[in-house]
Chains A and B, each alone.
Chain A
Amino acid sequence: MIEEQQIWNILEEVKDPEVPVLSVVDLGIVRSVKTANDKIDIIITPTYSGCPAMDVINMDIRLKLIEKGFRNITVQQQLSPAWTTDWLSEEGKKKLKAFGIAPPNPKQQFCSSEMFRQEAVQCPRCNSWHTELISQFGSTACKSMYRCLDCKEAFDYFKCH
């Protein structure tokens, strides 16, 4: 009999290929882990519909479990409820900041279709709130670009979703 907790611990070792400091558990995309005898059923949810990392993550989860000696594995995708950055773990937010990416603000605070609204984002390097938006879209679907007006560095913001 496989313990579910054991599988969760292994999943902590599977990283997001685009933000390698975060595990899939930190990201909040693992929705459920079920085990029965030697069978493991995992349900994950995509971050963004077109995120190319999802197929890789699916494969990485399988490979990691195979590496640990498991064979009977299914990984399925579920769209609803839709992933939100509110599911990022507190640990994950700390890791993001240490990596130089500003962690997402809580969703209720922002995330609207209103034009020209600027979100207060703290610079992950010098902690200044004196920052400005460069673009709502960045190097990956989940990030936007900001610049710090104090330390003058540009940085990524893991945008609220």
Chain B
Amino acid sequence: MNTQTFLYSLHLADNALILGQRNAEWTGHGPVLEQDIAITNISLDLLGQARNFYQYAAFLFNGFNEEQKKAVDQYIPRLWKKYNRELQEDDLAFLREEQQYLNLLITELPRGDWAQSVLRQFFFSAFQFYLYQQLQNNADQQLAAIAEKSIKEVTYHLRWSGEWVIRLGDGTNESNDRMKNALTDQWMFTGEMFMPEAYELLDVSTIKNSWTKKVDDILSQATLELPKQTWMQSGGKHGKHSEYLGYLLTEMQYLQRTFPNVTW
């Protein structure tokens, strides 16, 4: 029960929530009905994972002493402080501001075209897969339980997104071009996954090898090459975000900010 676990839960929750929200933008806009349903199902799984992590973060916070609460105060939504009740999962999801979010930058990138959405999903699912594999053995039992539960869902996401990367990369000239463009745009956002942050309860740099091996394997089946570029973007994990996040939050948080504490 410490502030590090609280921040780490927030980071894991934010990753899942922000990408879930992005993917949900495909609702009603997927290339075909079945794939529209597929990517929004993935959204739903991510939303469920986010809820589990937010619930745990809220539980930890409510058990903190004053000193611990003060230590994480910069991540606590200002509006909630007027509510005079315990912190809840929805407060963390819908009332925090951009700089209070700890998600990876790659999760907040615009949905782009289908190639961009499926490539990002593949990069992220491969990361989540190896991350949860380790997290399910963590000494923190609740985080371990969430990881054990979630990895089964992530296995489906990884298969689905990997198949799409191969299908488009090894498809027509047009689909191959789009995949190459997506790869060029997104590669610089992949390095942040493996840059350690003080609040993490496991060493993410150890996941990098398995991740790179998986990515290399799928890209080669997709007739694509692993980019050589090595300079990487970072900042999301400690609250420095791209311009895209603000717009996403504005849309996502609209209802809770306009009608505080509304439920249905």
Contact = CB atoms under 8 A, between A and B. Distances in A.
Interface string A54-91: 00000000000000000000000011111110000000
Contacts of A114: 159
A141 B41 contact: yes
A137 B155 contact: no
Interface stretch (A30-38, A42-50, A96-104): A42-50
B44 A141 contact: yes
B37 A49 contact: no
Interface string B144-181: 11101110110110111011001000000000000000
A50 B51 contact: yes
Contact of A136 (B144, B159, B218): B159
Interface residues of B, number: 35
A115 B162 contact: yes
Contact of A137 (B42, B46, B49): B42
Given A79-B145, A135-B34, A50 B49 contact: yes
B169 to A, nearest CB: 12
A16 B235 CA distance: 43
A134 interface: yes
Interface in B13-67: 34-35, 37-38, 41-42, 44-49, 51-52
Interface of B: 34-35, 37-38, 41-42, 44-49, 51-52, 129, 141-142, 144-146, 148-150, 152-153, 155-156, 158-160, 162-163, 166, 218, 221
Given A82-B149, A115-B166, A138-B41, 20 more contacts: A46-B48, A48-B45, A49-B153, A50-B45, A50-B49, A79-B148, A80-B149, A81-B148, A82-B145, A111-B155, A112-B155, A112-B159, A113-B155, A116-B166, A135-B34, A136-B156, A136-B160, A137-B41, A137-B156, A161-B152
